[in-house]
Amino acid sequence: MHLIVVGLSHKTAPVEIREKLAVPESRLGEALGRLCTYPGIREGVLLSTCNRVEVYSVVDDVEAGYGRIQEFLADTHLSLSSEQLTPHLYWHTGDRAIAHLFRVAASLDSMIIGESQILGQLKDAFEVALGHKTTGVIMNKVVKKAISVAKRVRTETKIAETAVSVSYAAVELAKKIFSNLEEKTVLLVGAGEMAKLAARHLIAQGVQHVRITTRTPQHAVDLAAKFGGTPVPFEQFKSEMASADIVLVSTGAAHYIIGAEDVERAVEKRGNRPMFLIDISVPRNIDPAVRHVDNAFLFDIDDLTQRVEQNRAERLQEAEKAERMVVEEVGAIIEWMKSLEVTPTIVALRNRVEDIKRAEVDKALGRLGHLSQQDKELVENLASSIVNKLIHRTMVTLKSEVNSSNGPAFVEAARRFFHLDQSSVEGPEAGRCVDRAKYLDSVSEESEHQEQESPLRKRGR
């Protein structure tokens, strides 16, 4: 069994390709069902967002699995042929596939490093796969670990703590000036998109009062309704500035519409309480001389952009810490998967010796009909004890050597010594997604036992 991922993202495909390949949430279940009809596909999770479409799968053969999933993607979107898709696709298997999933979950592969949306999208994709029974022991373990890794990255690094958009940088600065934004009032002058977005962020952070003015009165009324605020006539906004703790300006004017004297009067009316002014206009709409007004704090688009670039640099530093966490966690999962490889052989071995013991004990007890129930139990216990002692060393060796370079040789030797043919090792239900998941669930108890004994677990990981 091999874990692979096939997909494309904003790094490999333009939006016109990504939007064609995207799978709507309403069709995810149907798409997963079709994925599992392809030969050799054991488990599958489909992650589809605006920036990526990826299929994570457990397959019998890596190369065949790559081909099946590429075929599935092309079949899902008939407007795209395999030839059109191939240049944009990436393929990973084993530790590279696991590392990719962990990086995606931790937003290290996102367009904006540290964004939080992708983790929720991965959780949703996983829930759909669980609901349609297209995952088993391996995929369940790996995806849950990916979610855990993402949470660890957010807890142990500052990758998501700083703003990397101009609109949110304005909010970040406002919080430095006003430690608490609740009960604060925002005056929005103009209707620029960045200013409106900043206003939304401020409201999300607790700002409860919004006043809006534009040169077009009806536009101000419409925006006020959208923000749950109050429209202000444009010719009166300067007198309203005294009631605003935060002034957001974004108009199309080619000159300053707020001067230093306007701000001085407003601050004086406020009893010298601080006023935060954000000029997102280009050309600027607030006279830079406002910076010299006591208790007035002015930031323009360049200030916000500089702040964003500093924050991006900080996020990249934190991302380096996160990358080291990913490497560490991938090692733990790879070790678990190696231990899982031996599990079917161990289960088959136990079943074989149990069958032999059962047949021989039944034969003996049939000839010893005069034995009491207590004596029969003694015979049963004796046979079990002999069998357990005979295979104990084999079991210990298989478990201890599975992670070594000679692990596959030990597994193969055990199969030959005990005449474990492939069908007994794979199980009678080895087949497509759902069947394979049922089979793996039947041996999950043994795999969990293996995990508990791993060196990483012993070290407290």
Residues involved in catalysis: 50
- Chain centre to alpha carbon of residue 93: 18
Question: Would you say 387 and 310 are in contact if contact means Cβ atoms under 8 Å apart?
Answer: no
C-alpha 130/C-alpha 137 separation (Å) is 11
Cα 135–Cα 136–Cα 141 angle in degrees, nearest 5: 100
Question: How far is residue 139's CA from residue 157's CA, in Å, rounded to a whole number?
Answer: 26
Q: What is the dihedral of CA 7, 12, 13, 19, to 10 degrees?
A: 40
CA 431-434-437 angle, to 5 degrees, is 85
* Buried b or exposed e, range 290-317, using 16+ CB within 10 angstroms: beebeebbbbbbebbeebbeebbebbee
Question: Where is 343: in which H helix or E strand?
Answer: helix 301-367
Residues constituting the chain: 461
Alpha carbon distance 250, 160 (integer Å)? 27
- Sequence-separated (6 or more) residues with CB below 8 Å from residue 15: none
Q: Answer whether 286's CB lies under 8 Å from 249's CB.
A: yes
CA distance 308 to 300: 13
